[in-house]
Amino acid sequence: MDNPFSNIETRQQPSDSIKVLFLCLGNICRSPTAESIFRKKAENLGLNNFVFDSAGTADYHTGEKSDPRSIEHAEKRGYSMTHLARQITSQDFLEFDYILTMDKKNFTNANALIPTNPKAEIKMVTDFCISKNYLFVPDPYYGNENDFELVIDILESAAEGFFAK
Ligand code: 4NP
């Protein structure tokens, strides 16, 4: 298996860093969007002890850039997306502190992959949302512009709640 951290930008990682992996199905729409939003929010708050990455439960798009629609909508709100898609590995459960899933299916699939002695706590990313009652991040892949905007709305709300904690 390839180095699961080959995607993480090379930057200094303090020893007390909190590592967060976002998980969706294809790793080209929702989870790389989450990664970009949380990274920018952390930067804005002056928090440099976080490491963010993302992965998919499927390997359909391994090595590909994010969906151009996700990149376009994220950029309109000031988020930069440079992630290359990868599939989650068992090592991720040992290395990350949190695995935050976009929907219940990702959550169930992640739980089915847990190796012995995992470090990661698996949660729905929407557990952190501060506004509205978002229960999951809907898959926008076969959707329209509004669906891509909704993904960002939900993830911005989740990021706000996450850092407030
Ligand atoms: P994501 O969206 O899980 O948010 O990255 C999808 C991307 C690709 C596919 C499904 C969902 N696909 O079927 O290829």
The model's pTM: 0.92
pLDDT mean over 41-63 = 98
What is the set of active-site residues? 24, 30, 139
CB of 30 shorter than 6 A to ligand 1: yes
Supply the residue whose CA is at minimum distance from atom 9 of ligand 1.
Answer: 26
Atom of ligand 1 nearest to the CA of 106: 3
Confidence (pLDDT) at 161? 97
| Paired strand residues for 23 | 55, 101
Closest CA to 130 of 165, 98, 161: 161
The tens digit of pLDDT for each residue in 84-127 reads 999 999 999 999 999 999 999 999 999 999 999 999 999 999 99
Closest CA to 86 of 111, 67, 58: 58
* pLDDT > 50? residue 6: no
Let me know: does 144 contact 73? Beta carbons within 8 Å. no
Q: In what order do the strands lie in the sheet with 50-56?
A: 50-56, 18-24, 98-101, 121-124
CB of 28 shorter than 6 A to ligand 1: yes
The tens digit of pLDDT for each residue in 74-94 reads 999 999 999 999 999 999 999
Supply the residue whose CA is at minimum distance from atom 10 of ligand 1.
Answer: 26
Cα gap 163→159, rounded to integer Å: 6
Cα gap 49→64, rounded to integer Å: 28
